Structure 1
Amino acid sequence: MKLFGHMISSLEQGLNYSATKGKVISQNIANVDTPNYKAKNVSFKDFFDNAQMKELRAYKTDHRHIDFPKRNVQPGVFDYSNFRYRHDGNGVDMDKEQADLAENQIYYHALVDRLNGKFNTLQNVIKGGR
């Protein structure tokens, strides 16, 4: 029985997405002076599709049926291979990365606040409203 339906798992997936996006932004900022470094980004659609593939299992009635393919790459992460921001081939725009970092932090904290609200509701119910 799920106490909040799929809300907790949805919030968990959102936090995983935000954590991955934060790592990618940090890598971009760390490599701002690396020649020929291509900036990376995280696609929410690809991340979401990958999360659904993890839960999707094939019902096989015969040993010859083929399983769904599993990808070993980091989900939803792609680079701007044809984008060069500076003359040394580096594709990191520091202003964009800082704006993306601030936006991601706001998103992450909103999800954490929502998750805390769900747990506080559960704690209130367990205590009997006291």
Structure 2
Amino acid sequence: MLDKIAHYFDFQQQALNLRAKRAEVIASNIANADTPNYKAVDLDFASALHSAQGKQSGLALTVTDPAHIASSSGSGDAGAPELKYRSAVQRSLDGNTVDMDVERAAFTDNAMQYQSTLTFLNRRISSLNEAIKGGQ
């Protein structure tokens, strides 16, 4: 029963985890705005969430003999989304590609998306609580 309830919240949990990771990446960009030759990075949230959903729902292979080839789905860090370099709007003389306007906008957008995911999650919890109480 509890695993069904936990599965009910998996998507929002993964979305919140990726939003938190993206906030860390953007904060790192902002912190390194004056670092020479620092290249701004970001993660593609949609593809990272799609990848996280695919890894969760994928079927694992069962190895019944030591001579069998192990499944590749268990290798690597499943929780680390791929970071990509952000294209520079205007490169600085020291080689730094951080644009503070772009970073602030990305941070604000990410924070708003994080908050909306929390609101949606709160509504799901409330509806589940109502169902448990019997709508009284």
TM-score of Structure 1 vs Structure 2, range by shorter chain: 0.7 to 0.9
Matched position secondary structure for 1:49: helix
Deviation of 1:79 after TM superposition, in Å, equals 2.8
Mapped to 1, the partners of 2:10 and 2:64 lie a distance apart of 30
Per the normalisation by structure 1, the TM-score is 0.82
Aligned to 2:41: 40
Residue matched to 2:132: 126
Give unpaired runs (5+ residues) of structure 2.
Answer: none
TM-score normalised to structure 2 length: 0.78
Kindly provide the amino acid, as one letter, of the partner of residue 121 in structure 2.
L
Q: How many residues are matched?
A: 128
The answer (yes or no) to whether the contact 2:14–2:52 under 8 Å persists in 1 is: no
User: What is the aligned partner in structure 2 of residue 92 from structure 1?
Assistant: 98
Percent identical pairs in the alignment equals 33
Instruction: Give deviations 1:76-128, integer Å, cap 9, x for gaps.
Output: 22234x85721101110111001101110111111000000011112222333
Root-mean-square deviation (Å): 2.5
Structure 1 gaps of 5+ residues are none
Measured in 1, the distance between the counterparts of 2:18 and 2:116 equals 13
Amino acid at match of 1:20: K
Q: How does 1:72-87 map to 2 (within 5 A)?
A: 72=77, 74-80=80-86, 83=88, 85-87=91-93
Give distance in 1, aligned partners of 2:53 and 2:40: 23
Shift of 1:58: 2.0
Tell me which of 71, 86, 92 is aligned to 1:67: 71
Change (3 A) 1:51 1:63: farther
Give, as a single letter, the amino acid of the residue that structure 2 aligns with 1:74. Answer: A
1:34-78, Cα deviation, whole Å (9 max, x unpaired): 111111101231453245335642222432213215224832222
